[in-house]
Structure 1
Amino acid sequence: MRLSLLKPVIDRPGPWASVYATVPQSSEDTAKQQELTASATTAQLFALGADEATCGAVHEALLTRREGDTGAHAGRVLFAAHGAIVLDTPLPGPPAMPFAAWGPVPRVTPLLAAIGDDPVCLVVRLDRNGADFALLGERGGADGAGRTFPRASADGSSERHFRTDPANSWEHNAGEIADAVRAAFERSGAEAVVLVGEERDRHLVHDKLPEPLRALTCESTHGGRAPGAESALVDRDIAQVRAVQEREHIAQVTDRFRTGAGPGNKSAPHAAAGIPALVEAAREHRIDTLLVSPHGADIARQVWVGADADQLAVRGTELTYLGEERPAVARADDALVRSAAATGADIVVVRDPERAPSGGLGALLRGTVDATPD
């Protein structure tokens, strides 16, 4: 899971107001519903100890409808601190349970559970005259529209489209497009590519891609380069590719975790489980990938945190000894997510209870020996 979305809330000091709200359907009484939601939410936050300025910022934000919030099947997450809305982002659907929370760290785990692994996919709409690039993922393009991916030209400027010379043969142009796809893929950090266009055009470009990129590239049998060409079917194809990428990534991570956490591992451990071991690994910046299950006995356990993301402990006296004057209690899942994200770790949400770590939390560690056989 790519955590650029969380950057605004990771290093900023709390306490935090975290609000998961359902966006009311557009109707004659939408304004009234918004007012009721805003008033009830801010009253709850105030009762939990939130300051007046932060409550006011949340109230005002909930009265304002976000651009793109349409229909009944929508949700919204707000994170606010010290009188300011720091992050206001849509959910792919209504929250499983709308709530408001106030605490030393933001309640980000339900957001991660809602958006899932969110793999990045490079979508290439092509014909013999060129190609258009767009990225889906990292909370971009949830509606299928994607984000335009600029291609750097020789003079350093950016182009939204890659153009070929119609005077050249299609064989030659397909090779140029394949080179552009490779460059865009490497620069974007995408995990998969979907080619959209006429069958002959797709096949020729696909065949000219280098391995292993060819193995990560799928072709949509629907639509073409023209905007809106069978877009619903293309969106379905892209969603299927991203779902496969997510399943494969989670399976790979959980398999590695099981190997490292198993009793047969005689080499240096590359996995950790249990709150004490995870807290120690987070404090020492050794978490490479944090595994979080939405359901588990450990996720809601209390740990102690300080102002900095790597200040966490099983007991408050540990933080006091380390110089934190005002240690506070937080949920283990949110404290570990904050710490892991601050150190550049990956975070994987494991919904399958058969694959999830015992207790709901686990980690792959950095700088240790991988016991997986070659």
Structure 2
Amino acid sequence: MKLSFLDPLYARPGPWASAYLDTSRDIEDPDKAIELRWRHLRESLSAQGADNATIAALHAAVGSDRDVSGRHGQALFAAHGRLALAEELPEPPAADSARVTSLPDVLPLVLQHAPDIPYVAVALSRVFAETDLQEDVAVHFQAGRWPMSRVAPEPSLSHVGAARDWPQNAFAVAHEVENLRQWSDAETIVVRSGEGDVWLRGVLVNHLPKSTQQRVVTVPDRGRPMAETGRAMLEAELSEILWGTVNERDRTLMHRYLAQRARHPDTSEGMAAVLTALQRGQAHALLLNRPVELPETLWTGPEPTHITLAEPDLHDLGVDFGQQEPAGAALVRALMGTGAELIVVPREELPLEGGVGALLRYHIPYA
């Protein structure tokens, strides 16, 4: 997974105020609940030394996702009186939190972006025109990146035409779906239709290029809403299909990592090996197990490659004075600063020593 969505957080220095809060709207009087949650976080930020202007910048963004229905959350980041990033979270945080640190506390947000799978969702249905009662075919389709698009969906497209003309209309619809697939670089195309309506989806799928047909997953229409307010189309079906998976690029990098680990286990796995690779700018990607089990803090210096387990180790990197930062924040800064990627992999699929591994750009033995 590439981390370019974090660029706004590394364009200016800290200190950073980072806040994660539950902004779900599936409860009675959600606005009051959100106000109470934010009040506690605001008091915590003030106690940690956040300035009033920075707190005000966060305050203006709290609850701005009110158009998103159901369970969800927000991640907010501000520094020096300016909001730098506000993102909706497909899952509310396990606990509301707010921190003032030199580095933005981004790991919880990054984990919600994974596995970052591009897809296209297509919903087919039969409807009756109100004027002449003729049967129509309605098609709705939407691109997204799973799971973040659950609460930040792209605009949807639609087509309605007479059922008798579907064999001809399906060609134009398939062309639009294929254009959307190419634009989004979708790996999966999920097509929903009535349980017994094989004909509708069959005609559409047959008009898609052969290479795209291989990416199609068909699901029956079980009467679920096509989309809740402010949420992705076919969210429930997408969750069933994509839960626990890894995107194609990350899968390719994982295969490369396994081959590397077989040859060079000592420089591929564990926190010591990962930190060495990051210090050298040698890491192509960091592999991180979920659930995450990192040290609470790491020591950092002025540069992204200044990252160690203990303060004395910074001196070996030419750093006279360092500071402790949340381990996740320090690791992500090192990835951003060296152009490395992140692969979040379920522990049961690929257990890693210390929960971390490094795919190397090149290999050299330890000095």
Query: Kindly tell me: are residues 116 and 208 of structure 1, through their superposed partners in 2, closer, same or farther at Cα, counting changes over 3 Å?
Result: same
Query: Kindly tell me: are residues 57 and 325 of structure 1, through their superposed partners in 2, closer, same or farther at Cα, counting changes over 3 Å?
Result: farther
CA distance in 2, matches of 1:177, 1:342: 43
What value does the CA root-mean-square deviation take over the aligned residues? Answer: 4.3
Partner SS state of residue 85, structure 1: strand
Partner SS state of residue 150, structure 2: coil
CA distance in 1, matches of 2:40, 2:359: 41
Correspondence for 1:142 among 150, 163, 173: 150
Partner SS state of residue 184, structure 1: helix
1:131-156 CA distance string (max 9 Å, x none):
6541122665315x84137xxxxxxx
How far is the alpha carbon of 1:244 from its aligned partner?
6.2
Q: 1:76 maps to what in 2?
A: 74
Unaligned 5+ segments in structure 2 are 126-135
How far is the alpha carbon of 1:304 from its aligned partner?
0.8
Partner SS state of residue 84, structure 2: strand
Contact persistence 2:23–2:30 (CA under 8 A): no
Does 1:105 pair with 2:113?
A: no
CA distance in 2, matches of 1:220, 1:148: 22
Q: 1:277 maps to what in 2?
A: 273
How far is the alpha carbon of 1:358 from its aligned partner?
1.3
Q: 1:53 maps to what in 2?
A: 53
Partner SS state of residue 273, structure 1: coil
CA distance in 1, matches of 2:172, 2:37: 54
1:274-324 CA distance string (max 9 Å, x none):
334323433454433322235555443413142x54554556677788787
How far is the alpha carbon of 1:59 from its aligned partner?
4.4
1:140-183 CA distance string (max 9 Å, x none):
5315x84137xxxxxxxxxx56799x9x9865654554444333
Partner SS state of residue 117, structure 2: coil
Does 1:346 pair with 2:341?
A: yes
Does 1:362 pair with 2:357?
A: yes
Contact persistence 1:222–1:230 (CA under 8 A): no
Unaligned 5+ segments in structure 1 are 150-159, 370-374
- Which amino acid in structure 2 is aligned with residue 147 of structure 1? E
- Which amino acid in structure 2 is aligned with residue 109 of structure 1? L
- Which amino acid in structure 2 is aligned with residue 217 of structure 1? V
Query: Kindly tell me: are residues 302 and 201 of structure 1, through their superposed partners in 2, closer, same or farther at Cα, counting changes over 3 Å?
Result: same
Q: 1:205 maps to what in 2?
A: 204
What is the percent sequence identity of the aligned residues? 26
TM-score by length of 1: 0.72
Contact persistence 1:222–1:234 (CA under 8 A): no
1:199-348 matched pairs, under 5 angstroms: 199-222=198-221, 234-243=234-243, 245-246=245-246, 254=254, 256-262=256-262, 265=263, 272-295=268-291, 298-306=294-302, 309-313=304-308, 327-341=322-336, 344-348=339-343
- Count residues with an aligned counterpart: 345
- Which amino acid in structure 1 is aligned with residue 117 of structure 2? P
How far is the alpha carbon of 1:192 from its aligned partner?
0.7
Query: Kindly tell me: are residues 230 and 301 of structure 1, through their superposed partners in 2, closer, same or farther at Cα, counting changes over 3 Å?
Result: closer
TM-score by length of 2: 0.73
- Which amino acid in structure 1 is aligned with residue 240 of structure 2? Q
CA distance in 1, matches of 2:337, 2:202: 42
1:71-125 CA distance string (max 9 Å, x none):
6x43222211112222222222331122222212112112233453132211234
Correspondence for 2:180 among 177, 184, 191: 184
CA distance in 1, matches of 2:180, 2:68: 31
Correspondence for 2:190 among 191, 194, 199: 194
Q: 1:92 maps to what in 2?
A: 90
- Which amino acid in structure 2 is aligned with residue 148 of structure 1? P
CA distance in 1, matches of 2:107, 2:121: 29
How far is the alpha carbon of 1:188 from its aligned partner?
0.9
Contact persistence 1:2–1:138 (CA under 8 A): no
Contact persistence 1:299–1:361 (CA under 8 A): no
Query: Kindly tell me: are residues 368 and 294 of structure 1, through their superposed partners in 2, closer, same or farther at Cα, counting changes over 3 Å?
Result: same
Query: Kindly tell me: are residues 281 and 131 of structure 1, through their superposed partners in 2, closer, same or farther at Cα, counting changes over 3 Å?
Result: farther
CA distance in 2, matches of 1:333, 1:28: 34
Partner SS state of residue 350, structure 1: strand
